[in-house]
Amino acid sequence: MASFRLRATGVAAVMLTMASWAGAAAAPTLAALRGLEAGEWALRERGGGPEVMRLCVANPAQLLQIRHRGNVCKSFTVADAGNVAVVTYDCGAAGGGRTDLRVETTRLVQIHSQGIEGGAPFDLSIEGRRVGDCH
């Protein structure tokens, strides 16, 4: 399994804003994502170390493209039913992937994402929790 590859700044967290995530504004609103709360989310790879990535989520669609943040990608909705969203996306030369996201509560999600980034495969299982407001 590929590592989560976190970059530490300050307290081993990376804060990203909506402005740094190209594509979220254009992404369709999926029914499964509608109840998710905006704010700061902590993403931890399941089975990984204690590293946590912090993400300022203004649009829950940001959670569908964890490894290709900042890339403008074409997406296709495979499934959007109840509490599950499945999308594939193509970011051209940057790679692409498939993300399966299951909403547990408005503040807890399970994410499985796999694909190609930088010419190398990745396979991630992540638990995401809303931890507060963005700073």
User: What is the mean pLDDT of the segment spanning 14-40?
Assistant: 62
Q: Determine the Cα–Cα distance for residues 43 and 112; give it in Å rounded to an integer.
A: 12
Closest CA to 83 of 109, 59, 60: 109
pLDDT at 20 over 70: no
**Higher per-residue confidence, 27 vs 118:** 118
pLDDT tens, residue by residue, 42-97 = 999 998 778 899 999 999 999 999 888 888 899 999 999 989 999 999 999 999 99
Delimit the domains of the chain by residue range.
18-132
CATH number of 18-132: 2.40.310
pLDDT at 13 over 70: no
Whole-number average pLDDT of the chain: 82
Closest CA to 111 of 98, 100, 121: 100
User: What is the mean pLDDT of the segment spanning 125-132?
Assistant: 97
The whole-number pLDDT of residue 50 equals 80
Q: Are 95 and 88 in contact (CB under 8 A)?
A: no
Q: Enter the pTM of the model.
A: 0.78
The whole-number pLDDT of residue 29 equals 80
The whole-number pLDDT of residue 28 equals 56
User: What is the mean pLDDT of the segment spanning 8-23?
Assistant: 32
SS3 annotation, the chain: CCCCCCCCCCCCCCCCCHHHCCCCCCCCCCHHHCCCCCEEEEEEECCCCCCCEEEEECCHHHHHCCCCCCCCCEEEEEEEECCEEEEEEECHHHEEEEEEEEEEECCEEEEEEEEEECCEEEEEEEEEEEEECCC
